[in-house]
Amino acid sequence: MATGLQRNLTSSTSAVSASGPAAGPGAGDDARAVVRVRGLTRAFDGRRVIDALDVDVAPGEFVALLGASGCGKSTLLRILADLDRAIDGEVTVARRRAVGFQSPRLVPWKRVWRNVVLGLPGRPDRGLAVRALEEVGLGHRTDVWPKVLSGGEAQRAALARALVREPDLLLLDEPFSALDALTRIKAQDLVAELWQRHGCAVVLVTHDVEEAVLLADRVLVMDSGVIAHELLVGLERPRDRSAPGFVALRTELLSLLGVHPH
């Protein structure tokens, strides 16, 4: 059962709770949402980037956030990660969460395995790091320095660092944006596989419509700080990018984003 709000971040009307998952509307009578947002507002210099936003994420659900630059999707992710506290409204998030950023953010003076367990309580557990690295295909890179990793390998190491924390919620902010096309496809497939294996909820911020349809159960299109559109992706997994249903959903999302392909 979820506890009450535990940290008052800015004022009596602005708080984030890092509790057990709280119940959210639309998640069902027995389900407990890992994210519950009500009336969330975030302004910069008087301009509202997020405007009275409501959203829920169910346990194990994969949600993709789409929208033009400046629509508020990365700001929302930072708030869910507890990296931005200057908010109004209520945000309740699962206590066990991990974040993957556009940059891998590996510490250059620590070997790869030490980066994976960096920040975990107690003594660094090499065995735990090795198992996590093997899961993302980097068992052979355990003892190298981060500078010798390719871009794709560095992102996989960052993913291992996130998953080793066994999160209930994994937050990903455009983690594949700097990768070449082939490496990006492989990374997307790996995330889909790991998500199904670990069973955690995922919130993915992306500009890539095809990536959203490939990975998500539900796609939220943000515009001017609100959820303007919601699209359920009912396609079977693994998904075929060339299948008619996939193409139709991709076309619909592009249209919602103001792109009208011929």
Residues 13-61: tens digit of each pLDDT: 334 544 433 333 334 333 589 999 999 999 998 899 999 999 999 999 9
3-state secondary structure of 63: strand
pLDDT on residue 185: 92
Domains belonging to the chain, first-starting first, are 7-256 (3.40.50.300)
Higher pLDDT, 100 or 5: 100
Pairing relationship of beta strands 35-44 and 47-57 according to DSSP bridges:
antiparallel
Residues 136-157: tens digit of each pLDDT: 999 999 999 999 999 999 999 9
* Residue (of 14, 66, 71) closest to 225 by Cα position: 71
